[in-house]
Chain A
Amino acid sequence: MRRIAFILVLLAGAAVLADNGSDGTEWSPVVYPTQRLPLVFSHRKHLARGMQCIQCHTTAASSRSAVDNLIPTEVPCRACHAIERDKPDKQATPVAACTGCHAGFQPDRPVQRVYLTPPPIKFDHSAHGKSPCEKCHGDIRAVDLATTRQLPTMASCLECHTDGAEERHCADCHLTKLGGMIETHFEFGTLEPRRDGHGPGFLRDHVEPARAPGATCTACHDRSECIDCHQGTVKPMDFHVGNYLLVHATEARRGTPDCSACHRYESFCVGCHERAGLGTRGLSAFDANDPSKRFHPQGWSSTTKNLALNQHAQEARRNISSCSSCHREEDCLACHSAEPTNAVQASPHPKDWRASAQCRAQYRGNKRMCLRCHITPTQMGCDW
């Protein structure tokens, strides 16, 4: 255990040292699908001449929506480039020929169109007017053609909007459905948080992310989705696969996976087991007192304190949950109670129980449990 803890600490420490803070740095193909930019253009050269972004992207400063098309038309180009459509091969400085911008242009063929899908997010350029363009558009001064790589990632947004990743602010940027949840299904795919257990092992892997402080699950998922699985009325076919009604006993005895994550033994399990004839109160063909009708193996329980004849003790100590799926407290008390009328009075407590912190904590917290077995003051508490 110590070694494992040491390795974990070492890994975490190494990661902290090497941390480059790239959470969310990828460009989502759902938000920014593949573009088609059949253009020849150099942002680097234009900006190096001292031009301002707004000179070409004239509507950017007033744009209030991400669906606005901010790609310059030919009009701002004409301010410097002496373009004449009826002279596609015109030689001029700066360049004025059609091939200067439209790669592979041929006069007898239509110009290849720029194809940009509007990102399915909310964005207001006009509200960001005070920020320099490079703040969001990265190395725009170093590249020729701008691609999705010069568009902001979620991580770059969060550099300024430091609380933007909190669930209450998801809808600041993401589109919502009615009811306030984030819309995740789009033409080019589904928005999924890459690091939060979504993937082929989701049934097991979502536990930690869902438990995390500030978990954002309910930004996209209604809580009823959790209930449908964890407290549902239908067997989850992908989790309890196969003939689970028959084979669940092995997992229940082991306690793995943790049955209590979804089921309450004392109602869910007991009711079904009683009806199936495996309980202690309902109709059952089994009888612990008749060797020919025994459910548990021989030596499982007896009315003596001999441990060899009471193999159930080990089961109860390590996983009494499996016992409680059929038995109620009264079944245990029949032999373990310290009340005077009980002839067996087999103590379930471990060695040195009365000197333990557990004894004191349980007695201090809830005497009612103690009273189920111990009745006289001489047997109550931990100091007798």
Chain B
Amino acid sequence: MNRLVAALGLALLLAAPDAHAYEFWLHAQTIGQAYDVPQYTLAGPYLLLGRRRITQTLALRIDDVGDLAAERRKSRLPERGLRISLQMYLRVDHDFGDFTSGQMILPGPVVRDALDVIPELGESVAALDLMYGYVQLDGLVDDRLRIQLGRVLADDGWGTTAFDGGAAQFQVAGPIQVGASAGLRVRASSPLGNSAYELDGTSGAGCEEYIAGATPGTGSWQLIDRNRTITNNTLSSDYEYCPQRDVAQPSVGVTIAAVRAKHFSAELGYRRTWSSTVEQVGPAQGVDQPTQPLYPSEFPGELPGSGVDEERVYGRVMAKLDANGVEIDPYADARYSVVGAVFDRADAGVRVRAGGSVIEPAVEYFYPTFDADSIFNAFSIEPTTDLRLDYRYDDHGPWRATADAWVRHYGHEDGEPSLAGGGDAGIDRAIAGGLRAKVDVLADDGWGGARFGGGGEAAWQNARDLWLRGRVIVLGVRDDDASLYKDYVTSSTVVSGTLKVADYVAVHAIAEADYDAVHQLQMRVIGVLDLAFMPEP
């Protein structure tokens, strides 16, 4: 027996891989929040629902897994060859105040948990979200190939989304690089998924089922679980029985880009996301009734096997040029929705810098599009065009200034187009003793309402371990036709501070007091314990 143990121990010793002490960086934040959310009533004072939230974040980077680049680093050589790293961001968000955990008294009277009536609140009740998490392989194929595997962040042509799969980027020759990505788009129903990445407009998609009528083509869409015991149907929700919202959405994307080709960059990209059609819904989905078709399928070829959720082509060009000391950075972007047959985003502008001044005229075009499952695509038909002019001043001296002006033109199919416009400006100055002061003003008018007001701010920093900041804002709002209130003035006072307790350890505290005639006084308090953990290598 002893021999066996000894032999086993020796075998384990010989087989054991070398120990590696990996470099890692970890940033954790514990965030506590308490504030009020009004619950509007027609008569009497508004209820203020207490919202209490605690959020724990964890951002982790492990660099050079396997010490593959360690020797080159020790030899002070540029890092080349295979390097493996891990990057991830986890977040636990817990909402435990009256806002989510409270109850609602419905007509009847029926008392139900707010969460049952409004399932969307579940997003933050006890959410564990993997915002991203992937293994990255750099330096492959003579340092020209990068691969990411896991929950990868991806470009949809205008912003960032996420999918579970892989992405690769390959430097072809000179400035030309190509990229490809494939995987399942992250949805609220994905494992550790977050709805923020999901295509918008699909909350109701498939939340009803088609109930056939007496003859084909005479049916109607109805709540899926009609056997559910609901006292008041108008207050019920079938949100949790949306099988089309749980279907996997495969997504592929390709790009070709010229990066920094003599001060010029350009990219052309394509992304397509689709999903198969849910045909049946029944007990397997937790529905208390016999299995039935979800969509109308009474005529040959009526029900598609799958549908495209997004299909977009986008392009962007930009340059960084200089003319006698003046920096000129022109840019243009455009995105075309193939499934909507419209350009849904476009902009063009030029950022010109001379000394400490930057001026940027730009034009922006927007045609709202949604997940192609959503009927909102059929309603949204009037694009907007904005003209902007922004100015910045910062010569690294005591003064800094910003000024922005914009005009928005709304397309209108049936009549005269309407406009909105406005501007804001701010100026701040560093004063002796670590003190900085700022004033800013804001005014806008047109479609949506009018606002005018301003604010003052003072910030103070002491010896790099204590920051204090205070801000007062007064804003008048009027004539918001579709809004609950027509005219009101609101004020807000914010006091915040950051104390650096030790290296890489800080505490932030923010208190906000808002006052307006409608809600009277509302408070918001936020506290953050900020830990950036970086052990010795």
Contact = CB atoms under 8 A, between A and B. Distances in A.
A265 B200 contact: yes
Interface in B86-115: 87, 89, 91, 93, 99-100, 104-106, 114
A200 B400 contact: yes
Interface string A214-234: 100000001110111011011
B266 A243 contact: no
Contact of B41 (A181, A253, A260, A285): A285
12 contacts: A19-B322, A166-B260, A177-B534, A178-B24, A223-B89, A224-B89, A275-B49, A285-B41, A318-B447, A368-B295, A368-B307, A369-B307
Nearest to B427: A200
B118 A64 contact: no
Interface string A13-32: 01110111111000000000
A94 interface: no
B443 interface: no
Contacts of A297: 481-482
A305 interface: no
Chain B: interface size category: 35 or more
B190 interface: no
Interface in A261-282: 261-268, 270-272, 274-279, 281-282
Interface string A307-326: 10000001111111110100
Contacts of A227: 89, 131-132
A350 interface: yes
A237 B208 CA distance: 39
A60 B63 CA distance: 32
A20 B324 contact: yes
B218 interface: yes
B461 interface: no
**Among B39, B200, B219, B393: residue with most chain A CB under 10 A:** B200
Nearest to B469: A237
Contacts of A12: 319, 321, 328, 330, 350
B340 A375 contact: no
Contacts, number: 477
Contacts of A201: 358, 390, 392, 402, 404
A369 B117 contact: no
A376 interface: yes
Given A15-B322, A242-B490, A254-B446, 15 more contacts: A15-B328, A166-B260, A214-B259, A246-B516, A250-B480, A250-B483, A253-B480, A253-B483, A256-B406, A283-B117, A317-B381, A318-B384, A318-B447, A319-B380, A361-B341
Contacts of B131: 224, 227, 231
A274 B122 CA distance: 13
B117 A281 contact: yes
A8 B330 contact: yes
Interface stretch (A37-45, A77-85, A334-342): A334-342
Give the most central of B202, B324, B375, B496: most A CB within 10 Å: B375
A97 interface: no
For chain A, the bracket of interface size reads 35 or more
B350 A11 contact: yes
A241 interface: yes
A260 B37 CA distance: 22
Nearest to A166: B259
B76 A65 contact: yes
Contact of A195 (B303, B329, B342, B413): B329
B277 interface: yes
Contacts of B488: 246
B475 A285 contact: no
B375 A372 contact: yes
B341 A357 contact: yes
Interface stretch (B1-9, B12-20, B52-60, B280-288): B52-60
A19 B321 contact: yes
Contacts of B204: 266, 328-330
Contact of B42 (A16, A266, A285, A324): A285
B348 A208 contact: no
Nearest to B472: A242
A160 interface: no
Contacts of B277: 368
Given A199-B358, A233-B93, A266-B202, A330 B208 contact: yes
A349 interface: yes
A332 interface: yes
B168 interface: no
A243 B358 CA distance: 30
A237 B496 contact: yes
Interface string B200-211: 111111011010
B194 interface: yes
B412 A318 contact: yes
A200 B438 CA distance: 11
Given A15-B321, A247-B490, A275-B121, A180 B63 contact: yes
Contacts of A377: 299, 302
B465 interface: no
Given A201-B402, A330-B204, A376-B217, A243 B490 contact: yes
A12 B219 CA distance: 59
B231 interface: no
A16 B390 CA distance: 23
B59 to A, nearest CB: 4
Nearest to B410: A318
A14 B78 contact: no
A200 B401 contact: yes
